[in-house]
Amino acid sequence: MAWSFFDYAELTGRNKIREWLDGLADDAARAAIDFRLLTMAAMPSWPEGWVSKYRGVSDLYEFRISANRVKYRPLGTYFGQKRYLILAGAIEKNDKIPKWDLETACARLEKVRKNEGCAVPHEFDSSDDLEADAE
Amino acid sequence: MRNKAYRDAAVAAHVSNTIAAQIATMREAHGWTQTVLAERSGMRQSRISVLEDPNFENVEVATLRRLASAFDVALTVKFIPFSELAKWTSEIGEGTFSIPDFSHDALPSVDASQALIPSNIATAIAATTTIDAQLASGGGMFLLRGYPGAPVDCPVNATAGLFSMQLNEWARLLRENEPRVAVARVKEAPAPVSAVGSASGNLRQGTVPTFDLATPQLPDNRVLN
């Protein structure tokens, strides 16, 4: 069974991860994140270096993805068998994830646990184009 | 994919991610530590660690050749159209990075011209929940593929027990897709080989059909109604 990725969404339907990805100015960043997730979906397990537990914050993990020397750090958590929920997007600065992004991820995790937020299947950037090109 | 910057970054990410994922997956499948792989490939452990980092983009082909030798797998480096990369992303799934070494993947040449699909076997597979079959000669792995719709594959080992169980699941999937075609490719076996299968208690015999997995479409003479 391959891994499945989910995005954090508000109960109103607003997909906060899609909003973060669409807001990235660098197309290379979207490609790097897309292909990292696609690759990880097919891996039996994720070695250190692919995903890291964020120290000091329970159940919070980060992916380490670089594009054009910018360090993207999607924050998320495991839920269920081979399912991963992306809670927030972050960009590392001075080797640290901004405090605001950490607090956002933690708050969203709490909302999901209280059914005040939800998980929706992650859609890969330009997936329509990918499929069209494949035909 | 229609954006040039996206395409360029996709190529870079695909290469670095795939290489790192394959090295890590194959190493763990062998039960090797990074230190063991380093010894087998004549590199330092720290180098293996870097190569398994999906953000590392400066891998050299010579390094990949050394790793290919250590894992005893083949290596291809080639340019492809973006449509092929897009196809890869749509087909990626569990097992993508699990590459069998030579001892588990010695492919003999199979004469496709002799690949006749015995209709009795295909029909029986589609109609029954239980297929028990064994190779009358030869042995090894082969793969059954069902059409139409999305291909439904069933890797089969020539040992009878495993064969039966996996084929059951394959037959169930085929029934749900209203199959019209069933094909198989023989690996690690004298080609062609004979197969004896039983379906619903009825023994059936015919030539194990073969199929070039690299060819997505079946020739007309291998399609069953």
- How do residues A34-77 score in pLDDT, each as one tens digit? 999 999 999 998 988 899 998 888 899 999 999 999 999 999 99
| Average confidence (pLDDT) over B35-53 | 96
In chain A, % of residues over pLDDT 70:
92
For B195, the 3-state DSSP assignment is strand
| Average confidence (pLDDT) over B24-53 | 95
- The radius of gyration of chain B from alpha carbons, rounded to an integer in Å, stands at 21
Q: What is the pLDDT of residue B95?
A: 80
Q: What is the pLDDT of residue A55?
A: 81
Say if the Cβ atoms of B98 and A44 lie within 8 Å: yes
Say if the Cβ atoms of A42 and B92 lie within 8 Å: yes
Measured distance CA(B140)–CA(B138) in Å, rounded: 7
Please name the residue of chain B whose CA is at the shortest distance from the CA of residue A1.
B94
Please name the residue of chain B whose CA is at the shortest distance from the CA of residue A128.
B1
Give tens-digit pLDDT for B74-118.
Answer: 999 999 999 999 988 888 888 888 888 877 764 443 333 333 334
Distances (CA, A) of B12 to A74, B85, B164: 19, 12, 43
Q: Which of A29, A66, A133 sits opposite B83 (nearest CB)?
A: A133
A47 contacts in chain B (CB < 8 Å):
24, 28, 52
| Number of continuous H segments (helices) and E segments (strands) in chain B | 7, 6
- How much is the ipTM here? 0.87
Say if the Cβ atoms of A39 and B55 lie within 8 Å: no
Please name the residue of chain B whose CA is at the shortest distance from the CA of residue A48.
B53
A125 contacts in chain B (CB < 8 Å):
6
Q: What is the pLDDT of residue B24?
A: 95
- The pLDDT-based confidence of A117 (bands split at 50, 70, 90) is very high
Q: Is the peptide bond before B148 cis (omega within 30 degrees of 0)?
A: yes
Say if the Cβ atoms of B6 and A65 lie within 8 Å: no
